[in-house]
Structure 1
């Protein structure tokens, strides 16, 4: 008799366990006298019949169904095993761990911006975490049509709505599009709350939603870099000074000699210009000297002639006979234009 009883005994356990499997249903079989229930770590075993939960068992280990399980079922306490016939009941094994899913925008999201008429194309990526929260909702809305459920099934359920939620929370309250990382927690928390409401009816809970990074097309990134560098420099004069200093200090880099020479020339020209400006401010301008020259006493024609005689015929006089300005060896007077030789 014990031989037959052993033949009819069943082992109720999660037979197709996978780390990415959220639940697995043991069904369409009879639990008979001598059956055992095996619960693995991180698993809950839920006995249910016609969508109604009869009992939930959480502690990992091995249990005798007849003596340790049946007495605790809500509506089947009076069930007595008899002969070799058993009772049909379904057992749902649930993975109680928290699952982590990676996500990323498949296409760039065009965020409206006054800087670009067509909007700023933005991509983002990150992770979200979820777990099973409500067993009754899970049985009523998912388990009835599925024998198992994978993490990938939840990812397909959630990811398509992320793009729309990203656009909503990025554009909310006029955030700086080029500094979105500063708002990543706020954006992620807003998306988490909305996703959580969407999956609650399936019995799931979104525990975290993280935005790891935002990215722009390469040309947009270059614009941001240039804008940042210009704002750091402050003005173009300072930018040129910094550029020249960098060129001089990079003497060991390829082309550094040419860069250094050019930088030196530019610095020399700037210094000369500053000196000229200083001379103008101090009244040392040569033109001022020329304008002051006529105030000097003019030589008489005899004195000029005598100088011409002393210097030899045809030689250029030291002072212009017309205005008295020093000739400096020129053929024409630099002040009045009088021909000197």
Structure 2
């Protein structure tokens, strides 16, 4: 008798568990006396009858339906099940973890900007996070009509409105269209709030939204890079020197031709000018202490001032102690 009795027992568990599955419904069967409920880590089990939640079980483990589950359900208002003919009830298993999804724009988004009449074509990518937070709404809007629900189902819904939200918040927060990354945090915050409203009616919530990068067309990116180089170098002369050096080293300005000779001559002249400037600056700095030393040197004593040279410093004639040279009249 015991053998036949156990034939009617069954196990209520998430048979098709997948990491990318948001919920899975155990239905199509009748819970018999002696059945067991198995709840694994990261799962909640919800007993549902005619779309109404009869009980929610959050603790992981293995439970006897007739001794652990039914007594609890019997305390709930309106519970009418017994085991005379089995308990016909659906059990919804919900994945309680937070899901992380990568996203990216499939086509460039044309952001209106005065610099480009047709709009700035921009691509973006990043991640968003979500989780189930309202079982009643989840059952009412989705689980009542579906036996399972995947992360891809949410991703499809999110990406269908993401382009419009990116355009909205880039236009609102992206003051500098050529440096959107600086406003990425504000843009992401606004999009997260709007996306949360989108999936809230399905019993889920957006817990995070991140913009990893904005990507411009190659022509725009080259212009941004060149502008940054100008600002980094600081003046046009040095930018020309760097550009010329890069051109020669990369082979764009090749040797043997007039362009290469002219490039080399210009670079040499610029380098020579810079060297002369440095030499003159160093010379002036070295002369300043000497001049200051001469200005601060003490005046010669009266004894030194009265001493007469033996020969004229102008023509070399012997002076013999005179105040003026007898040959050229030089004052001694």
TM-score class, shorter-chain normalisation, is 0.7 to 0.9
Task: Describe the shift of the 1:4–1:214 C-alpha distance in structure 2 as closer, same or farther (beyond 3 A).
Answer: same
Does the 8 Å CA contact 2:34/2:66 hold for their aligned counterparts?
yes
Q: CA deviation at 1:37?
A: 0.4
| Equivalent residue, structure 1, for 2:192 | 192
Q: Distance in 2 between matches of 1:12 and 1:244?
A: 75
| Equivalent residue, structure 2, for 1:217 | 217
1:17-32 equivalences under 5 Å are: 17-32=17-32
| Equivalent residue, structure 2, for 1:72 | 72
SS in 2 for 1:202: coil
Q: CA deviation at 1:76?
A: 6.5
SS in 1 for 2:179: helix
Q: Distance in 2 between matches of 1:243 and 1:104?
A: 35
Task: Describe the shift of the 1:247–1:192 C-alpha distance in structure 2 as closer, same or farther (beyond 3 A).
Answer: closer
SS in 2 for 1:71: helix
| Equivalent residue, structure 1, for 2:93 | 93
Q: Distance in 1 between matches of 2:57 and 2:11?
A: 16
Q: Distance in 2 between matches of 1:15 and 1:167?
A: 42
Task: Describe the shift of the 1:267–1:167 C-alpha distance in structure 2 as closer, same or farther (beyond 3 A).
Answer: closer
Q: CA deviation at 1:236?
A: 2.9
Does the 8 Å CA contact 1:251/1:257 hold for their aligned counterparts?
no
Q: Distance in 2 between matches of 1:29 and 1:239?
A: 77
Does the 8 Å CA contact 2:188/2:211 hold for their aligned counterparts?
yes
Structure with larger Rg: 1
Q: Distance in 2 between matches of 1:79 and 1:188?
A: 49
Q: Distance in 2 between matches of 1:251 and 1:62?
A: 70
- Where structure 2 has 5 or more consecutive residues not aligned to the other structure, the ranges are 277-332
Does the 8 Å CA contact 2:54/2:79 hold for their aligned counterparts?
no
SS in 2 for 1:118: strand
Task: Describe the shift of the 1:78–1:49 C-alpha distance in structure 2 as closer, same or farther (beyond 3 A).
Answer: closer
TM-score normalised by structure 1 residue count: 0.72
Q: CA deviation at 1:175?
A: 1.7
SS in 2 for 1:112: strand
Q: Distance in 1 between matches of 2:268 and 2:12?
A: 91
Q: CA deviation at 1:81?
A: 2.8
| Equivalent residue, structure 1, for 2:230 | 230
Q: CA deviation at 1:261?
A: 5.9
- Where structure 1 has 5 or more consecutive residues not aligned to the other structure, the ranges are 276-341
| Equivalent residue, structure 1, for 2:83 | 81
Task: Describe the shift of the 1:179–1:138 C-alpha distance in structure 2 as closer, same or farther (beyond 3 A).
Answer: same
Q: Distance in 2 between matches of 1:58 and 1:106?
A: 39
| Equivalent residue, structure 2, for 1:306 | none
Q: Distance in 2 between matches of 1:251 and 1:180?
A: 31
Task: Describe the shift of the 1:144–1:243 C-alpha distance in structure 2 as closer, same or farther (beyond 3 A).
Answer: closer
Matched residues, number: 270
Does the 8 Å CA contact 1:247/1:260 hold for their aligned counterparts?
no
| Equivalent residue, structure 2, for 1:178 | 178
Task: Describe the shift of the 1:174–1:98 C-alpha distance in structure 2 as closer, same or farther (beyond 3 A).
Answer: closer
Q: Distance in 2 between matches of 1:190 and 1:252?
A: 48
Does the 8 Å CA contact 1:25/1:148 hold for their aligned counterparts?
yes
1:103-252 equivalences under 5 Å are: 103-243=103-243
Does the 8 Å CA contact 1:71/1:77 hold for their aligned counterparts?
no
Task: Describe the shift of the 1:257–1:172 C-alpha distance in structure 2 as closer, same or farther (beyond 3 A).
Answer: same
For 1:19-63, what per-residue CA distance to the aligned partner results, in whole angstroms no more than 9, with x for missing partners?
111100011321111010011111100001111111111111110
Q: CA deviation at 1:77?
A: 5.9
Q: Distance in 2 between matches of 1:48 and 1:27?
A: 10
Q: CA deviation at 1:172?
A: 0.4
1:290-309 equivalences under 5 Å are: none
Q: Distance in 1 between matches of 2:135 and 2:245?
A: 69
Does the 8 Å CA contact 2:253/2:260 hold for their aligned counterparts?
no
Q: Distance in 2 between matches of 1:36 and 1:141?
A: 29
Q: CA deviation at 1:15?
A: 1.0
Q: Distance in 1 between matches of 2:90 and 2:183?
A: 47
